[in-house]
């Protein structure tokens, strides 16, 4: 089996979720080729060998510095042909998910997104998907010879002991018609841990009483190397930007640890966090429904507990 | 201008999810069905564009007869007419192929839908329709404005936003805050009863995805409560028990 992995990058660095995609591909068995597009640092590419890639194709064309879905999908479909790939693996994201769809349509592949685990190949090729906003799973069989799999964060562990991968230049056809959607501007939080990528997320709700108190959460997040998120009312009121809104209609996260401060735990919020490995809830209301979904809880005033927790983590780190 | 809004018919966001028939069927007992929340945003924006430009708005749903109350609700909110493709929406590729077939039969300037359905959560139907029609598709779109024949949009990306633009025809997968959800008024509900709802047969599609079974996550154990004076204990548990620090 030949597996192609599309790796996403951010400011020249390969994203962690793409490391997981390479590790997932390696877990399928077979030969793994990674594909990177646009400007990516050279040592980031060779390092993909560590996660299981035997070769890296790099299409460094300047036109690919902008992440245009149609253009990327056309290049990836060509790379599948070039490497005789049976399977394409990529990370679920605002870029990866639509690309998965367009490549699947172009190469006539079976398509599954939101995949959470390695396939069951005992009879056929079945993958486990997260559905009903994290409230259930389904197993689906991918029956076509070619398959496109978009994985959710933590579907595979990005650890590996492989060596460095050989990087090869890839020069696909790039069509003007793939740039019908023009990107005219980008606003991105820089330097922070990206919320969908974060291993630890510290989120605040209405219980934080106002945007001026976010410094408390940011201090805790900084100590933990965490990203910050918020509940829907908080982004609706404009306390925090929409891209930090965690929940059913916002960002869905699956970190190792989710710390919710002053969030009651409406079912719509839980839909965005219920695939987190561990959940800590800090709320002064002992009846907050979030405690039912939590692993650890503290009933107390966020304004006292959070600074204390920040200090305790600092002390524990030494 | 003609706008097509594709809506899904999904369990209310607060529904308890359960399965029957040896975990092969969704248990609809006691479940209330709604217009997909993301699709509802797309519909609301389409109605705003209709009010501003005089566009016509057609809603489309792929589903069996049971989805008609959901379609009527979309008509009550302000859509002009509706199409129901009479088939079970088995997977994203099937649904996209049905939408593409309808859009080929009758051309639309804008095809709007939610960024994903909240049952299957695939988030790919807009992109698949785009590929099938060779029309640009953008998602998730949080702002959409018309400037002549150009559509100016704000798209959410990881950790930020991106401004994009394209000419019509165009497909967009929508999410908040593109528009405020609209609640149908009495006049809308009355007029929805007589608005045209066309039922069409599905086109044949070779599906590459077959459902084997559903599975529920294991139930969560009881929460361990820690005294607010003993946060060190929480740090200790996170380190030694959860091993996440």
**Could you tell me which chain A residue has the CA closest to the CA of B234?**
A296
**B104/A19 Cα distance (integer angstroms):** 40
Structure tokens at A60: 């460094």
Q: Which of A87, A94, A107 is nearest to A25 (CA)?
A: A87
Sequence ranges of the domains in chain B: 2-219
pLDDT digits over B67-78, tens only? Answer: 999 999 999 999
Q: Which residues of B touch A114 (CB under 8 A)?
A: 121-123
Are B136 and A278 within 8 A, CB to CB?
A: no
Question: In which band, very low, low, confident or very high, does the pLDDT at A151 lie, cut at 50, 70 and 90?
Answer: very high
Q: Which residues of A touch B161 (CB under 8 A)?
A: 186-188, 243
Are B13 and A133 within 8 A, CB to CB?
A: yes
What architecture is the B2-219 domain classified under in CATH?
Answer: 3-Layer(aba) Sandwich (3.40)
Q: Does A169 touch chain B (CB under 8 A)?
A: no
Could you check whether A2-179 and A195-317 share the same CATH topology? yes
Other Cβ atoms within 10 Å of A206 Cβ, number? 16
CATH number of A2-179: 3.40.50.620
Class of domain A195-317: alpha beta
Could you give the ipTM of this predicted complex? 0.92
Nearest to B211 among A92, A140, A294 (CB): A140
Question: In which band, very low, low, confident or very high, does the pLDDT at A192 lie, cut at 50, 70 and 90?
Answer: low
Which residues, in sequence order, are CB contacts of A277 under 8 Å at separation 6+?
A: A154, A254, A255, A256, A257, B242, B244
Own/partner pairs for A126-129, CB < 8 Å, 24+ apart? A126/B212, A128/B215, A129/B121
Stretch A111-125: mean pLDDT, rounded? 94
In a mutational test of the B interface, the residue from A11, A111, A275 whose CB has the highest number of chain B CBs within 10 Å is A111
Other Cβ atoms within 10 Å of A210 Cβ, number? 10
Q: Does A180 touch chain B (CB under 8 A)?
A: yes
3-state secondary structure of B56: strand
Q: Does B163 touch chain A (CB under 8 A)?
A: yes
**A5/A148 Cα distance (integer angstroms):** 10
Q: Does A121 touch chain B (CB under 8 A)?
A: no
Are A143 and B208 within 8 A, CB to CB?
A: yes
Sign of torsion over alpha carbons B104, B106, B112, B113: negative
Q: Does A313 touch chain B (CB under 8 A)?
A: yes
Backbone dihedral region for residue A6 (phi beyond 0: left; psi -120 to 50: alpha; all else: beta): beta
Other Cβ atoms within 10 Å of B232 Cβ, number? 16
Q: What is the mean pLDDT of each run of 10 residues along chain B (245 residues)?
A: 98 92 94 96 97 97 97 97 96 96 94 96 96 95 95 91 95 93 93 96 94 91 93 94 91
Place of tokens 């709604």: B34
- Examine the pLDDT at A149 and tell me if it is beyond 70: yes
- For the whole model, what pTM was predicted? 0.90
DSSP A281-296: EEES-TT-THHHH-SE
- Examine the pLDDT at A189 and tell me if it is beyond 80: no
Sequence length of chain B is 245
**B123/A271 Cα distance (integer angstroms):** 16
Q: What are phi and psi of A97, to 5 degrees?
A: -65, -50
Sequence ranges of the domains in chain A: 2-179, 195-317
pLDDT at B87: 97
Nearest to A181 among B93, B166, B225 (CB): B166
């Amino acid at each position: 089996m030949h597996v192609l992995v599309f790796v996403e990058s951010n400011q020249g660095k390969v994203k962690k979720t793409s490391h997981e995609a390479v590790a997932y591909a390696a877990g399928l068995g077979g030969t793994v080729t990674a594909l990177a597009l646009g400007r990516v640092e050279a040592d980031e590419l060779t390092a993909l060998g560590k996660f299981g890639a035997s070769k890296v194709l790099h299409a460094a064309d300047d036109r690919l510095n902008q992440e245009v879905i149609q253009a990327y999908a056309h290049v990836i479909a060509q790379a599948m042909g070039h490497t005789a790939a049976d399977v394409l693996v990529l990370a679920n994201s605002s870029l990866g998910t639509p690309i998965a769809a367009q490549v699947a349509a172009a190469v006539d592949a079976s398509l599954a997104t939101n995949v959470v685990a390695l396939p069951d190949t005992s009879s056929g090729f079945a993958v486990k998907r997260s559905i009903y906003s994290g409230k259930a799973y389904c197993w689906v069989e991918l029956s076509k010879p070619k398959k496109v799999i978009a994985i959710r964060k933590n579907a595979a562990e990005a650890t590996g002991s492989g060596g460095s991968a050989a990087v090869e230049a890839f020069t696909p056809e790039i069509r003007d018609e793939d740039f019908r959607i023009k990107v005219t501007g980008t606003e991105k939080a820089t330097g922070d841990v990206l919320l969908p990528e974060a291993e630890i997320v510290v989120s605040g709700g209405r219980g934080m009483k106002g945007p001026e108190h976010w410094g408390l959460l940011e201090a805790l997040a900084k100590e933990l190397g965490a990203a910050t998120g918020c509940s829907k009312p908080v982004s609706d009121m404009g306390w925090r930007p929409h891209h930090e809104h965690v929940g059913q209609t916002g960002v869905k996260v699956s970190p190792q640890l989710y710390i919710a401060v002053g969030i009651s735990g409406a079912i719509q919020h839980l839909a965005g966090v219920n695939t987190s490995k561990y959940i800590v809830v800090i709320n002064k209301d002992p009846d907050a429904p979030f405690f039912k979904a939590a692993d650890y809880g503290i009933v107390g005033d966020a304004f006292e507990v959070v600074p204390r927790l920040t200090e305790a983590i600092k002390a524990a780190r030494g | 201008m003609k706008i097509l809004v594709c809506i899904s018919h999904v369990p209310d966001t607060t529904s308890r999810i359960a399965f029957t028939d040896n975990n092969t069927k969704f248990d609809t007992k006691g479940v209330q069905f709604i217009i997909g929340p993301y699709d509802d945003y797309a519909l609301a924006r389409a109605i705003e564009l209709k009010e501003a430009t005089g566009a016509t708005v057609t809603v489309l749903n792929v589903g069996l007869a049971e989805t008609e109350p959901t379609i009527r609700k979309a008509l009550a909110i302000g859509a002009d007419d509706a199409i129901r493709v009479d088939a079970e929406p088995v997977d994203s590729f099937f649904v996209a192929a049905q939408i593409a077939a309808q859009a080929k039969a009758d051309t639309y300037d804008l095809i709007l839908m939610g960024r994903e359905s909240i049952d299957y959560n695939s988030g790919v139907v807009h992109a698949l329709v785009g590929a099938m029609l060779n029309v640009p598709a953008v998602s998730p779109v949080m702002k959409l404005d018309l400037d002549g024949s150009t559509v100016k949009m704000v798209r959410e990306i990881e950790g930020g936003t991106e401004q994009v633009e394209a000419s019509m025809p165009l497909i967009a997968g929508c999410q908040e805050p593109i528009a405020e959800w609209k609640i149908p008024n009495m006049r809308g509900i009355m007029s929805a009863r007589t608005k045209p709802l066309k039922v069409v047969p599905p086109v044949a599609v070779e599906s590459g995805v077959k459902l084997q079974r559903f599975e529920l996550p294991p139930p969560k154990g009881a929460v361990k409560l820690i005294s607010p004076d003993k946060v060190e204990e929480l740090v200790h548990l996170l380190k030694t028990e959860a091993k996440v620090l």
